[in-house]
Structure formats: structure tokens, C-alpha cells
Amino acid sequence: MQISSQHSSQFEEIYLSHYARMKRFAMEYVIREEDAENIVQDVFLELWEQKLLLVSHTYLFAWLFTATKNRCLDLLRHKTVVRKGAEKLMDEHNIELQMKLQSLEAFDNKIFSEPDIESVVQKAIDTLPKKCREIFVMNKIEGKKQKAIAAELNISVHTVESQMTIAHRKLKEALKEYIPLLLFLLV
């Protein structure tokens, strides 16, 4: 099984461009960074073996994120299986995992295949006022806590909080058509 050097450098490019956002996406649902890392590494191992590189960017993007989503679903399902004789009263960690699972199940795969989804998302973030955007990126994309952001930008935690509230409101507005309000919950 000869791996061409072209294959490896192409692969590395794709890896570097997608790894971090796949991991952050996974962390939204599986919570633990370690679990998210393992999932994303496994997806890339699968990609390496499949040699799926001679395809369009859109296809690759959809493949990577769908694979990530599916592995997250597997993990969450495994963790939320109610064992025989378990207490009826579940602790809130379990309820949280259940909610994450339900959310991910409701996340439509078609979104990953939307040809311009990346620019749609980027545009939505760009609609935020400059400071607000900066704070949002630091919190959600870079994973920094509000206290750390306040310290780094030399502003109050209260300011960070209110900017995040604005960010949430504006992003909800910009992206709501992609994530419709569920009027009837799927059982």
C-alpha cells in the first residue's frame, strides 16, 4: 500500500484546515475535550484510509462533519443508556447529555452539504459589531472564559456578559432559518 507524498501533503492541508472546528463542534455536544479529540482523530484516521481526497471541497466538508456528528451520536447514545435497576431520578449530568443528544439528533445533516454554509456562517458572525464579534470569537471559537476575556481586553466582566447576550440575539436572528423552531418535538 503505497502512500504518495502528494496524498500526505493534501491530507495534512485538509487536516489543518478542519481539525479545530470539528473538535469545537464535537465539544458542543460531547462536552469533554478528550472525547471530542478522540472522535475527531478517529474521523481523520478513517479519512486517511478512505483516500477521499479527490473530491470537491463541499463533499469533503460534509463528509468530515457528518462523520463527526455520527460518532458524537454514538458516544452520547452509549452514555445515556439507562441501565437496568438504575435510579429513576437521573442526575443533571445525565439530563444534560440527553439534551445534547436530542439537540444533535435534531441537527439536520443537510446543513453540512449546503454549498455556501461556511460563508453563511462567516457572514452571520460578521454582522456582529466589531467588539462584540471579537468577544464572541474568543468565547465560542477559542474557548476562553468570560473572566479571561475581560482581563485580556481590559474591560469588565459585565461588559463581556452583555456583549455575549447581544451576540446570541443577533446570531439567533441571522441563522434561525437553518435551525427552525421545533413546534412538535420528535418522540
Contact between 32 and other proteins by CB under 8 A: the answer reads no
**CB 17 to other proteins: min, Å:** 7
Binding residue for other proteins (CB under 8 A) from 7, 21, 79, 131? 21
H or E, element range at 169: helix 157-175
**CB 159 to other proteins: min, Å:** 13
C-alpha closest to that of 73 among 97, 48, 52, 46: 97
Ordered DSSP codes for 129-156: -HHHHHHHIIIIIS---HHHHHHHHT--
Contact between 20 and other proteins by CB under 8 A: the answer reads yes
Gap between the terminal Cα atoms of the chain: 47
Cα–Cα distance for residue pair 35/162, rounded to 1 Å: 31
Please, is 19 exposed, middle or buried when counting C-beta atoms within 10 Å of its C-beta (0-12, 13-18, 19+)?
middle
Applying CB under 8 A, which part among 51-59, 79-87, 90-98 lies near other proteins?
90-98
Cα–Cα distance for residue pair 132/135, rounded to 1 Å: 5
Question: Cell 455536544 maps to which residue?
Answer: 29
Cα–Cα distance for residue pair 124/174, rounded to 1 Å: 6
Per-residue binding string, other proteins, 35-54, x by CB under 8 A, is: --xx-xx--xx--x------
Contact between 187 and other proteins by CB under 8 A: the answer reads no
Applying CB under 8 A, which part among 52-60, 79-87, 165-173 lies near other proteins?
165-173
Contact between 142 and other proteins by CB under 8 A: the answer reads yes
Binding residue for other proteins (CB under 8 A) from 76, 125, 132, 150? 125
Residue type, 135: I
Contact between 34 and other proteins by CB under 8 A: the answer reads yes
Interacting residues with other proteins (CB under 8 A)? 12, 15-21, 23-25, 28-29, 34, 37-38, 40-41, 44-45, 48, 65, 92, 95-96, 99-100, 102-104, 106-107, 111, 117-118, 121-122, 124-125, 136-137, 139-142, 145-146, 161, 164-165, 168, 171-172, 175-176, 178-183, 185
